[in-house]
Amino acid sequence: MSTHERDVERLILSAGYVLDSHEYERMGEVFAEEIDFANPGRLEAQGLAALIAAFQAIPDPARSHHTTNVVVRMIDEDEAEVRSKALTIRADGAVAPAEYTDLVRRTDAGWRVARRRIRPL
């Protein structure tokens, strides 16, 4: 695994910790300013400010995100496509399995998720 692939994988795994902290102002640590985020039927947002506002508006946010089976495919030195599986523990204790498909870009601040598609399983 290349250094870029490891950095991208670390970014994907870090997203869960940021979400679990409910410190949504930190989302810029993992998501790009131009984030295009789609979790159909649950949450969709264009841009980092809209994503933060959407998460802040959730009355009962998930307690824990567990991301696994991360597969990184480098497109070039500055972009990667990433697929991963996730289990989210919701506030009521229900478990929600999903698959993430991300487009990750290298920015001046480091690697950031520019697009996330969530497919419930």
pLDDT tens across 51-92, in order?
Answer: 999 999 999 999 999 999 999 999 999 999 999 999 999 999
Name the token pair of 56. 């802040």
Query: Residue 15, class by beta-carbon neighbours within 10 Å (0-12 exposed, 13-18 middle, 19+ buried)?
Result: buried
Which domains occur in the chain, in start order? 3-120 (3.10.450.50)
Question: What is the C-alpha separation between 83 and 36, in angstroms, rounded?
Answer: 16
Q: CA-CA distance, 72 to 4, in Å (whole number)?
A: 9
pLDDT at 85: 99
* Rounded-to-integer distance, Cα 68 and Cα 14, Å: 12
pTM (2 d.p.): 0.95
Instruction: With beta carbons less than 8 A apart as the criterion, state whether 96 and 19 touch.
Output: no
* Cβ proximity of 7 and 109 under 8 Å: no
